[in-house]
Amino acid sequence: MNLLFFASEPTTRRDFLTGMAGLTAANLLSSRVFAKKQTKDKLGIALVGLGYYSTDLLAPALQKTQHCYLAGIVTGTPAKAELWKKKYNIPDKNIYNYQNFDQIANNPDIDIVYVVLPPSMHKEYTVRAAKAGKHVFCEKPMAMSVKECEEMIKACRDNKRSLSIGYRCQHDPNTQAYMKIAKEKPMGKVKLIHSSAGYNEGRTDHWKQKKEMGGGVMYDMGVYALQGARLAAGEEPILVTASHLTNRPEIYKNVDETTMFQLHFPSGAVANCTTSFGINTNFLKVNYEKGSLFMEPATAYSGNKGYSTLGEINFPLDSQQARQMDDDALAIINNKPMLVPGEEGLRDIRVVEAIYQAARTGKAVRLG
């Protein structure tokens, strides 16, 4: 797909672009209940689940963070525990399994529990971590249902702990750039959005292919396509339509391989979205009243960039995960709102539920 280039705008363009990378939590999301101000200047994180994302992305990112560090791990595999212990010099007292997890309450080294498990386990370990007095970072999707999301938010609020969802892209200044455009409307109202996120998943016996574990593309890559549309619109959808397509029914027996969905927004904007485990795709295109925006890639781990009528969007970032965890740790230290609180994860799951209902019934579903 070709990038679109545009003629220079008036001098305000430079001023507009200069501030794109500096969005803060205060002007993005509302406040919530917070715990007493932390006295530490660097918080200890325990990773729960040591699969690919923890191993290849979060643990390396924690070697770059300034406000948090890898303090502990939770795993059901003794061999992994021994490997991580040696590689990251983790003391035995900071290594847990799923049976003794609740004893983490007695460990002052660990301030934050980062839940990096299949979606079906997110609610359980978020609630248990909050009851153990720990702040919680939880990977996307937040949970399997709206009800589970609400229970997670309540558990953290009741225990005066912060809850953040691992939407790394919202910490990326390239994403913040088009969020700023949605908020300030320098090109007028959004008219049409195309948002797409997918890759060719070669595994055949992973939790992503198992409904009971939170499988299905809409729960995984789907939230990226959904987030792209929601953040670019700057508002919440009020109606959805959707359909599923499966080209490998022998693998995707009871979950979706590809989902196409359309979102209608209160302003009249419409978003056409695609997410897939069988198609390599990663872009965002927005048509405004007086201009356009195109991002490709839009939600990659690095290198997200694009152009709009206002000019280039390209703010290199060494590690989204390091920025995400530092932002969230600093919010806890300073008793500030999370950039991406549990309520944001809940908003997505509410739409995901509606998308599945629309695909199942073949009818448009209205959102409150």
- Token digits of residue 302: 């690095």
Please give the Cα distance from 111 to 162 (Å, whole number).
11
Burial of 214 (0-12, 13-18, 19+ CB in 10 A): buried
Q: Check 114, 125, 134, 140 and give the catalytic one.
A: 140
- Token digits of residue 151: 């229970």
Reference 301, options 286, 316, 284; nearest CA is 316
Active site residue 69: no
Q: How many CB atoms lie within 10 A of CB 29?
A: 16
Go through the chain and tell me how many residues it has: 368
Please give the Cα distance from 271 to 122 (Å, whole number).
29
SS3 316: coil
Active site residue 140: yes
Please give the Cα distance from 148 to 157 (Å, whole number).
14
Q: Check 224, 288, 307, 356 and give the catalytic one.
A: 224
Residue spans of alpha helices (H) in 204-284: 222-233
Q: Which residues are catalytic?
A: 140, 224
